[in-house]
Amino acid sequence: MDVISEENNEQIRKLDPLRLDDELRVLPTLNMAADVPALVRVLRDALPSEESIAAFTTTECLAAMRDLGMYLGSLQRHGVSAFEAVGGATRSFQLLAGRTRMIPRDTVYHYTSWNPVGDRERLYTGHPMERSLIDAVRTCVPNLARAVDIGRSLLDMDPAASTHADRMASLASHIAVADTVMSGIRVNVTPEFFARVLRPFYEDVRVAGRVYMGPAAAHIPIFLIDLLLWASDRGSPEYLQFCTEVSAQTLPQWQERYTEWASMPSITSRVVAALQHPGASSPDGHVESSARSLRRALQTLTSFRGKHLVMARRAYHEELRLYELGSGGGSVGLLEEILALTRRNSAMLHATAAQRVQLP
């Protein structure tokens, strides 16, 4: 499932398989009025039959899940389970999930990458800050997807190879987009708006006895990049458990990457081992160059995590928060731990490399 190709994303955005364009334009009004009966009616009337789902293309299934998910999240925000209020909802969501090999609810990719732009944009509130948050995530997901692809190639490459450092530098540049986007979110989306207005729409739902998290930005593949670069063998038990839980919310191919990377030595461990090898320091300097590029990637992640932590501390402050945990299921304490671990690995890498050559 491709979120890199803008052509593919746009194809999904254009689709309206359940003919909900007009209904979704008034969804913010229904939410403002807490009109649960109207939300239930629209969802019930929109549920596709088993025959319709079987006839949908994969992209139509993704668009259908996107649109049904807006009512799922809206009802949950008003304290109502769609699966209890609407007969047949469980079956429809499960069938759509089976066709796409994803969870039986909408995810962050439905809400951002596959969400139309402009007057057809699917919104819970209609507020400009909600649009800004969606657009920010929509902007950075393709770059993070490219970083994941580059990361996969690094696992088959010797840190002493001339191309290793170049690919690490490219990976860092794609991560940097997420850091830039986070700066924009800090300007355009207040913690108060997120905590009090948007956060309730991202609540967990229970489908056939299992709990699934809402379409939270925490589920974008930065956790997968962490796992690749340092966390697979240098992460805390709490963070690794979080990665396991979040991996189920992501795209099918990234679930496969998670399975592969969770049990492999991280890039940091590989580069450190190469630096400590007696023959690592050579005239060509490839290992040292790889270490510099890796450290830039870790510093970029540190910058991103630092900005995220500042926002999270405000959004989940006791006087403001409605929930103990973030929309992705993590706590502020976990964010602090991830940031500290990233810094620690960056510092350790620098110290190891400095024994060979002074890094700037």
Higher per-residue pLDDT: 254 or 353: 254
Pairing of strands 210-212, 205-207: antiparallel
Q: What is the pLDDT of residue 322?
A: 54
| DSSP annotation of 206 | E
Q: Write the pLDDT tens digit of every residue in 173-216.
A: 999 999 999 999 989 999 889 988 999 999 999 999 999 999 98
The fold for domain 128-205+216-354 equals: Methane Monooxygenase Hydroxylase; Chain G, domain 1 (1.20.58)
Are the CB atoms for 9 and 112 separated by under 8 Å? no
Q: Which residues pair with 211 in a beta bridge?
A: 206
Give pTM, 2 decimals: 0.90
Return the minimum-mean-pLDDT range out of 44-48, 68-72, 99-103, 315-319. Answer: 315-319
Are the CB atoms for 220 and 143 separated by under 8 Å? no
297: number of Cβ within 10 Å: 27
Q: Write the pLDDT tens digit of every residue in 275-298.
A: 887 654 454 678 888 999 999 999
What gap in Å lies between CA 233 and CA 315, rounded to an integer?
Answer: 31
Q: What is the pLDDT of residue 360?
A: 46
Domain ranges of the chain: 6-111, 128-205+216-354
One-letter amino acid for residue 226 of the chain: D
Quick one: three-class SS letters along 157-203?
CCCCCHHHHHHHHHHHHHHHHHHHHHHHHHHHCCHHHHHHHHHHHHC
Q: Write the pLDDT tens digit of every residue in 304-329.
A: 999 888 887 876 665 554 545 444 55
| DSSP annotation of 117 | P
Report the interhelical angle of 332-354 vs 267-276 (nearest 10°): 20
State the DSSP H helix or E strand holding residue 309, giving kind and residue range, or none if neither: helix 286-315
Q: What is the pLDDT of residue 359?
A: 45
Given the structure tokens 């998910």, which residue do they identify? 69
Are the CB atoms for 235 and 262 separated by under 8 Å? no
One-letter amino acid for residue 302 of the chain: T
Question: Could you check whether 6-111 and 128-205+216-354 share the same CATH topology?
Answer: yes
How many residues are present in the chain?
Answer: 360
Count of alpha carbons within 13 Å of 237, Cβ hemisphere only? 0
Tokens of 8: 């593919």
Task: Please choose, from the candidates 182, 150, 155, 183, the residue with its C-alpha nearest in 3D space to the C-alpha of residue 167.
Answer: 150
What gap in Å lies between CA 15 and CA 222, rounded to an integer?
Answer: 28
Task: Please choose, from the candidates 276, 271, 216, 291, the residue with its C-alpha nearest in 3D space to the C-alpha of residue 249.
Answer: 216
Are the CB atoms for 208 and 84 separated by under 8 Å? no
For the chain, what is the mean pLDDT?
90
Tokens of 104: 């039986």
Model confidence at 162, in pLDDT bands (50, 70, 90)? Answer: confident
Q: Write the pLDDT tens digit of every residue in 135-161.
A: 999 999 999 999 999 999 998 899 988
Q: At the top level of CATH, which class does the domain 6-111 belong to?
A: mainly alpha
State the DSSP H helix or E strand holding residue 207, giving kind and residue range, or none if neither: strand 205-207
